[in-house]
Chains A and B, each alone.
Chain A
Amino acid sequence: MNAPSIFVPRDFEGIRQAAIELFEDSLVQREANRALDRAEGSSNRQRLEESFKSRLTLAAGYYSWVEYLMDLDGILAAGIQLPIEKLLDTEIHGLRMLRLARGEFSRRHPACGACGELNDRFAQQCSSCGVKFQRAKAA
């Protein structure tokens, strides 16, 4: 008997998770590229390369759907009008999940006030420009 299958566009929690993983992964890749540029010609470059692993944990189908939603989001953000009846409910709810994921990712990775680079919310200094972060003290 075949295992039950999930129709990805209807698995909204899975879509949210996939979107966060894609955002996190692109950040890791960006950091990896910077580190690899710095390590150009160094003997530990290969070890460094291996240490930056993709953190994607879901089936490929989740990421391809999220990438489609990102494209659709880009079309809408550019001000191109799509009649609502042209959109499926899976697209409308998927876009909402994408927005939630983006918000969650932004909270985890606030932008540096000096250079705009995204950092971990607990970071002491910017991973790009090195500026020290000041934390607001609790009253």
Chain B
Amino acid sequence: MENAAIELSGERKISFRDRTQNFIYTFRRLEAKDWLKYFNSVTVENEREGKDTVQRIDIRSAGIALVDETLNSVEGYRVSGDMPADWKQKIHHGHKIKAADLLTDVGESSAMQSMPFSISDFEEIGLTAFWGVAENGSNVKFDGLVHRIASPNAEQRRVYMRSMSETRVAGSRSGRTIYRSSAPLLIRLYDELVQGVDGYTWQGQPLVNDVALIRANMDAYHKVAAMKQIFATPEDEMETAAAA
């Protein structure tokens, strides 16, 4: 996949199989407002139950709403006669969940995991994502999508910590803690801190160091994923290693 890059303008396709059938979903461009609506619909709550704390995360409802709102067309379904006007409501529920999972399947690049951390004015974050469908019908996976992000200053870190600590509690003071999405802040911080990217084009033009173009057109989900890595602590990995 040398020289391949994600084209951010225009439609976005994903594909999946169920039983022996292939399906291709075509979405309109997912704008920042679509992703903000998605992030604001994700619910993360925790509640004490006896000695334990139970965390509940609902991303499925938000994912289904995103698919309903942005899906332009589908291929692979048998239709008798014309496509009904309410075709989106008739799509298999599990297929919408699968489609949302693929749209949001953005991870840390395997190539970057072995990269040493360096002391510099910016960090390089590597992401993976599924974007587009190959001629054989399979999803195209991009690895090594690079975001060069300046190190946040103390004030930006403080504002992030504040945002992560501001919660609501349902019912009484000992009720459920409801966490709000930090995505709007992460998107804002990304726009403040981004220095450049590799692996993305806008209308055929590589974004590279065109910060204004990156701010305006980078996929908001990728902005959030990159910033989450900027603020990530290695605790999780240490805990995983200890538990293994």
Contact = CB atoms under 8 A, between A and B. Distances in A.
Contacts of B177: 59-61, 64
Nearest to B159: A86
B150 interface: no
Contact of B46 (A3, A7, A60): A60
Interface in B161-195: 161-162, 164-171, 173-179
Interface stretch (A31-39, A68-76, A102-110, A119-127): A68-76
A8 B169 contact: yes
B2 interface: no
The interface size bin for chain B is 20 to 34
A72 B158 contact: yes
A68 B162 contact: yes
A87 B171 CA distance: 28
B169 A59 contact: yes
Contacts of A67: 165
A76 B204 CA distance: 49
The interface size bin for chain A is 20 to 34
Q: What is the predominant secondary structure among interface residues of chain A facing chain B?
A: helix
A14 B171 CA distance: 13
A62 B46 CA distance: 12
Contact of B175 (A9, A59, A68, A72): A59
B168 A62 contact: no
A8 B172 CA distance: 11
A57 interface: yes
Contacts of A61: 167-169, 177-179
Contact of B167 (A4, A17, A57, A65): A65
A129 interface: no
A92 interface: no
B53 interface: yes
B155 interface: yes
Contact of B48 (A59, A65, A86, A91): A59
A68 B165 contact: yes
B169 A6 contact: yes
A11 B173 CA distance: 9
Interface in B123-156: 154-155
A65 B174 contact: no
Interface in A49-85: 57-62, 64-65, 67-68, 71-72, 75, 80
B211 to A, nearest CB: 25
B173 A14 contact: yes
Contacts of A60: 46, 48, 53, 167, 177
What 9 A-B pairs are tightest by C-beta distance, nearest first?
A61-B167, A61-B177, A68-B165, A5-B168, A59-B169, A3-B171, A59-B177, A60-B177, A5-B170
6 contacts: A5-B169, A58-B174, A59-B174, A61-B178, A68-B162, A86-B155
Interface of A: 2-9, 11, 14, 17, 57-62, 64-65, 67-68, 71-72, 75, 80, 86, 88, 91
Given A5-B169, A5-B175, A7-B166, 7 more contacts: A5-B170, A59-B48, A59-B169, A61-B179, A62-B173, A72-B158, A75-B158
